[in-house]
Amino acid sequence: RRQSFTPTARDYVDYVQRVLEIVRRPQAAAGFRMGGIVWRILLEVLGDDKDFRDRLFKQAGEGLSGEQSIYQEVINLSSTCAFVDDSLSEEELDIISGVYKVYTNQLNQTADVSWWPKHSHWVTHAGQYAGIWTQWNEKWFCDRLRSIYDGTARPKSSSEWKQSLKGHRETKMVGNLVESASRDFI
C-alpha cells in the first residue's frame, strides 16, 4: 500500500472476510487456544454464528485437528517426549490482526500497520493482560472496535501499538509469573 493509504469502512469489512477464510481452515481452533487478542478477534468475526463458534470451541478443546498441517507447534519436554499441536502461521496471525504493508520513505521498504495489535505485541506489551481476558481487556477491545466502525480509528504501527498497550507494570509481571509457572508445570 502507498504511504498515504487511509483505510475505509469497506477495508475493515474486507479484513473481516479474510479472517473468516482463516477460521474455516482445520488449524483455526489453534487461534482459540492461543487466547488473548487472537481469541477475542476470532470471537468477534464469528459474530452470532453460534453453531460455528461452538464447533470451533469443541475443536479447540480436543487439540490436534488430525489434518496434516504444515503449521505445527512442537514442545519438546525431553528427548523422548514432545507435545505437538496445530498452530497458525505468521501470515495467518498477521491477517487476523489486520496487517497492511505500507511503503515507508525508505526505498522499497515497508512497515506493518494493523487494525489490531499482533499477537506477539499483545503478549509482550499489553500491560493490562496477565494471561486471562479481563473486564479491562474487554472494555479496551469494545472501545477500539467502536472507534473502527465509527471511522475514528486507523491501523497503527508497531511502535504505536507498543505505546498504546502500556498498562500497569505489576499486571505484566503477574502475567510473566503465570507464564513461567505454566511452562514449569508442563
What is the rounded distance in angstroms from the CA atom of residue 40 to the CA atom of residue 137?
A: 10
> Tell me, what's the pLDDT at 61?
75
Mean pLDDT, residues 10-22 taken together: 93
The amino acid at residue 134 is T
pLDDT, tens digit (0-9, with 9 covering 90-100), for 137-152 = 999 999 999 999 998 9
| pTM over 0.75, yes/no | yes
Q: Is residue 3 part of a domain?
A: no
Q: How many domains does the chain have?
A: 1
- Is 131 part of any domain? yes
Establish if 80 belongs to a structural domain. Answer: yes
How far is the CA of 56 from the CAs of 13, 28, 83, 129, in angstroms?
A: 22, 8, 21, 24
74 in a structural domain = yes
CA nearest to 84, candidates 102, 66, 100: 66
Establish if 1 belongs to a structural domain.
Answer: no
Which residues lie closer than 8 Å to 39 by C-beta, 6 or more apart?
31, 32, 133
Confidence tier at 174 by pLDDT (50, 70, 90) = low
Residue ranges making up the domain that contains 140 = 9-185
